[in-house]
Structure 1
Amino acid sequence: MASQKEVKSKIKTVGNIQKITSAMEMIARTKMKRAVDGVLAIRPYALYARELLKNLGSDKTLENPYLKQGTGNKTLLVIIAADKGLCGGYNANIIRELRRRANSGEDMDLYTIGKKAGLEGMKLKMNIMGAHKDIPDKLTSGWIEPIAEKIRKDYLDEGYKRVEILFTDYVSSFTQVVRTRVILPINVTEIDEVLAAAATSEERTEELANGSLKAFSPYLFEPSVSVIVNTIVPKLVDVSLLHALHEGRASEESMRMFAMKNATENAQELKDDLTLSYNRIRQQSITQEIAEIAAGAEAIS
């Protein structure tokens, strides 16, 4: 049986761990809220870009390579995972889907964002076109632009049939779903998916379910329509990537928040059990001391 000192030491250790997990839970909650706000911030740009493409899509004179499907048969899969663990099944769910795609015999290359995604890509011996880790806490367009530029360049140079992004969609604090979305070639349907994911329930009901997005007013474009479209279309790849990263970050931190919450509760249960054991050992020790004193007094008399 463990001594009082050993049990007391364990109680202190568990208490320290409990403080850490509780702090990590609060930090994850804050980061999750920031990521959700980031998703909503993307919506205005995507909304007006979508309307622009929809209304100018009938213009047969417009030419943009990102609106056309590639000539090859290979797919470029961009996968987003976390740099760290301790986030429940976040990484495991993404990796499971990646393995399924890899084992399906599909001809594809990989582009990884997040340390865990890169490690899994190397384990599967896939052709990795690019790898990024150390995802910043504050996601910005400046950080995503070089990644999006490389993906756009590879799409044209390698002649990929399409570029897909594999990420975790944040539905709510309790629900996160692994999804795949085509980001190249760009089409209005895919932009609608981004808008739907970034909308609040009220906005989704009003605008998307009823198909009542505000009418696009005709404008005089300077220097020309083609220049405007060729400027906006590449930026939509940035928006799609940034949106998926925010969704993934919100999902990651949500899962981490609940994982740390469970860890804190488990630590409290263990602490209670250890305290009970400590009190039991202490009681036995006191009882034994009283018995020894009584036996000594009886021997003297």
Structure 2
Amino acid sequence: MANLKDIKKRIASVKSTQQITRAMKMVAAARFRKAQAAIVAARPYAQRMQQVLAFLALHEDPEAHPLLQQHERRGRAMVLALGSDRGLCGGFNLNIAKACEQLIGNNPDGFDGFELVVIGRKGREQLKIRGLQADQVYEDITAEATYATAALLGQEVVQNYCAGTCDAVYLIYNAFFSAIRQEVVIDRLLPIAPTVPIAPADTGFPVHPLYEPTRGEVLASILPKHIEVQIYRAFLESMASEHGARMSAMDSASKNATEMIDRLTLQYNRVRQTVITTELVEIISGAASIQ
């Protein structure tokens, strides 16, 4: 049986840990509110741009721009996985790793191989645990992901696709719904897939798009911009999901610490009661033997 001193030390240790988890929850909550406001503000623009580009892809000749072209060969596909640099956020990175494993294992489009690009140190570690080796890792950029960072990454993706280094680009990230709900999304970023609307009135787009100044200039500007915007949106979704997951994880940890403290306190009182009872019995027995 554990003695009183050991139990008391353990209670103090759990209380100290609980103070840390509560502080981390408060920090995560503050960052979560900021990240939530950012993704709510960015979503309408990103979604509308995605609709516009899908509509243009439906009506444009694929030869008008390399980003509209479907590569006939099925060589290598790039998988861009957005994880985190910091841990203690529940299954945030584990779910990303599982989605990467599923996509690469199933290989629905029949590619010969995959190039795995991972954002975040913890994301890379989870992939390594599951036997997936990252070809390229970007670390220390998830804490404050800016549009400039997303733009640089988007430019690299566009260059690789146009040069034929990869024949498709998939984007895997945690989509934000609420502080307690995040869902992993696998988007095919390139080539830009056309969508068929039910009716032109449903989209608000004209049947035949008009370009100003020229079609070539507009496509050369808006298509790479679209890739940058979608990557930036994924960054914001991932940031909000990470802070929400960490806030939930720290809240659960704090509650578990409270339950553990209660159990240890009960154990401490029982042991203390046993010690007192034993001492009383010894005193009474000693007094009786003297008489």
Q: TM-score, normalization: structure 2? A: 0.81
Residue 104 of structure 1: which of 103, 106, 128 is its match? 106
Could you say which residue in structure 2 is the equivalent of 1:268?
Answer: 258
Could you say which residue in structure 1 is the equivalent of 2:74?
Answer: 73
Q: Deviations over 1:12-59 (max 9, x none)?
A: 001111111222222233333333222222235436645765479756
Specify the code of the residue in structure 2 equivalent to 1:295: S
Contact 1:73/1:161, CA 8 A, preserved across alignment: yes
Contact 2:119/2:142, CA 8 A, preserved across alignment: no
Task: Give me the whole-angstrom Cα distance separating, in 1, the residues matched to 2:35 and 2:27.
Answer: 12
Contact 1:166/1:179, CA 8 A, preserved across alignment: yes
Q: Deviations over 1:141-161 (max 9, x none)?
A: 012222111111111112533
Per-residue deviation, 1:280 = 1.3
Task: Give me the whole-angstrom Cα distance separating, in 2, the residues matched to 1:68 and 1:16.
Answer: 58
Per-residue deviation, 1:93 = 1.9
Is the aligned partner of 1:172 residue 2:178? yes
**Cα distance 1:131–1:257, how it changes in 2: closer, same or farther (>3 A)?**
same
**Cα distance 1:166–1:60, how it changes in 2: closer, same or farther (>3 A)?**
closer
Per-residue deviation, 1:116 = 3.5
Task: Give me the whole-angstrom Cα distance separating, in 1, the residues matched to 2:251 and 2:57.
Answer: 50
Task: Give me the whole-angstrom Cα distance separating, in 1, the residues matched to 2:132 and 2:257.
Answer: 40
Q: Deviations over 1:51-101 (max 9, x none)?
A: 765479756699322222235313221112222332222222221222223
- Name the SS for the 1:171 alignment partner: strand
Q: Deviations over 1:201-260 (max 9, x none)?
A: xxxxxxx9x9656668x99945x4532432222111111111112222222332222222
Contact 1:170/1:176, CA 8 A, preserved across alignment: yes
Could you say which residue in structure 1 is the equivalent of 2:189?
Answer: 183
Per-residue deviation, 1:122 = 9.6
**Cα distance 1:213–1:11, how it changes in 2: closer, same or farther (>3 A)?**
same
Is the aligned partner of 1:85 residue 2:87? yes
Could you say which residue in structure 2 is the equivalent of 1:42?
Answer: 42
**Cα distance 1:47–1:264, how it changes in 2: closer, same or farther (>3 A)?**
closer
Is the aligned partner of 1:144 residue 2:150? yes
**Cα distance 1:140–1:293, how it changes in 2: closer, same or farther (>3 A)?**
same
Is the aligned partner of 1:234 residue 2:224? yes
Gaps in structure 1 of 5+ consecutive residues: 193-207
Specify the code of the residue in structure 1 equivalent to 2:275: S
Could you say which residue in structure 2 is the equivalent of 1:23?
Answer: 23
Specify the code of the residue in structure 2 equivalent to 1:12: A
**Cα distance 1:283–1:59, how it changes in 2: closer, same or farther (>3 A)?**
closer
Task: Give me the whole-angstrom Cα distance separating, in 2, the residues matched to 1:188 and 1:90.
Answer: 31
> Percent identity of the aligned residues?
30
